[in-house]
């Protein structure tokens, strides 16, 4: 009888409720989650306030100092373009750490690439750049060279001025990472064979800017 009562008597530790405490790993995970949420909210707020807009480019002047297609398959030319570039951002400056340019005709380069000096663009401002490109002969397919000669005869030549490089936006002491920039400016110029100097722009819509 005593043995049965001993078996039926519950052990004092069997029904004691177990408390699961928060270990250091769970606390650390909660802190990391909160920290990441705060970073995300801060980044979203900054993006909404300082949302960067692409710069704008427009060709406003052109000059042809040399255009020689008499030694195919090479073409030798020297050109200068005046380009207005606008930073539409009211709170962000733009740093062009690397910027190069060249001219193409019917999707073929007719000048070598020219690297421009670093450019700093203050917020909500417009600046002018006037790169001189060319001076070194470059190869050109015969069909494209013949097309250029024909266009000269008619007095209207379509050219494409290209800029490409890397830029960063800056707000106060904060700079973004580098972004690639590619700008295409299609222009129509009035050009007669043998003419040298400033040429009229017959068409110059805004340039297409890809970031």
Q: Looking at per-residue confidence, does 104 or 20 come out higher?
A: 104
Of the CA atoms within 13 Å of residue 2, those in its CB half-sphere come to: 0
Task: Please tell me which residue, 178 or 28, carries the higher pLDDT value.
Answer: 178
Sign (positive or negative) of CA dihedral 83, 88, 93, 95: negative
- Please say if the pLDDT value at position 186 is more than 50: yes
Please give the mean pLDDT across all residues of the chain: 85
Q: 57, 209 in Cβ contact below 8 A?
A: yes
Residue 119, C-beta contacts closer than 8 angstroms, at least 6 positions apart? 95, 96, 99, 127, 129
pLDDT at 84: 96
pLDDT digits (tens, 9 = 90+) for 5-51: 555 555 555 555 555 555 666 777 777 777 777 766 555 455 544 57
pLDDT confidence of residue 13: 53
pLDDT tier, 57 (very low <50, low <70, confident <90, very high otherwise): very high
| Segment 105-131, tens digit of pLDDT | 999 999 999 999 999 999 999 999 999
Confidence (pTM): 0.77
Residues 6+ apart with CB under 8 A from 174: none
Per-residue pLDDT reduced to its tens digit, 65-93: 999 988 878 999 999 999 999 999 988 99
Of 155, 145, 165, give the one whose Cα is nearest residue 192. 155
pLDDT at position 54 is 93
Please tell me the predicted confidence (pLDDT) of residue 26.
75
- Whole-number pLDDT of residue 148: 92
What is the CA angle 103-104-108, rounded to 5?
Answer: 145
In the prediction, which pLDDT does 16 show?
A: 54
Q: What's the pLDDT at 48? A: 42
Eight-state DSSP code of residue 179: E
129: how many CB neighbours lie within 10 A of its CB? 17
- Per-residue pLDDT, averaged over 127-142, amounts to 94
């Amino acid at each position: 009888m005593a043995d049965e009562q001993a078996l039926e008597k519950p052990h004092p530790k069997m029904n004691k409720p177990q408390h699961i405490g928060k270990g250091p790993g769970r606390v650390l995970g909660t802190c990391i989650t909160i920290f990441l949420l705060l970073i995300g909210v801060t980044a979203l707020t900054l993006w909404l306030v300082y949302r960067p807009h692409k710069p704008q480019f427009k060709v406003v002047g052109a000059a042809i100092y040399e255009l020689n297609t008499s030694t195919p398959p090479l073409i030798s030319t020297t050109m200068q373009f005046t380009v207005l570039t606008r930073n539409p951002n009211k709170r962000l400056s733009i740093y062009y750490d690397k910027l190069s340019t060249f001219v193409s005709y019917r999707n073929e380069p007719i000048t070598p690439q020219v690297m421009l000096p670093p450019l700093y663009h203050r917020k909500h401002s417009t600046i002018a750049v006037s790169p001189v490109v060319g001076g070194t002969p470059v190869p050109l397919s015969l069909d494209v060279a013949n097309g250029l000669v024909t266009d000269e005869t008619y007095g209207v030549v379509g050219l494409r001025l290209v800029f490409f490089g890397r830029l960063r936006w800056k707000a106060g002491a904060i700079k973004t990472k580098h972004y690639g920039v590619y700008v295409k400016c299609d222009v129509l110029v009035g050009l007669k064979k043998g003419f040298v100097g400033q040429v009229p722009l017959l068409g110059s819509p805004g340039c297409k800017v890809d970031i």
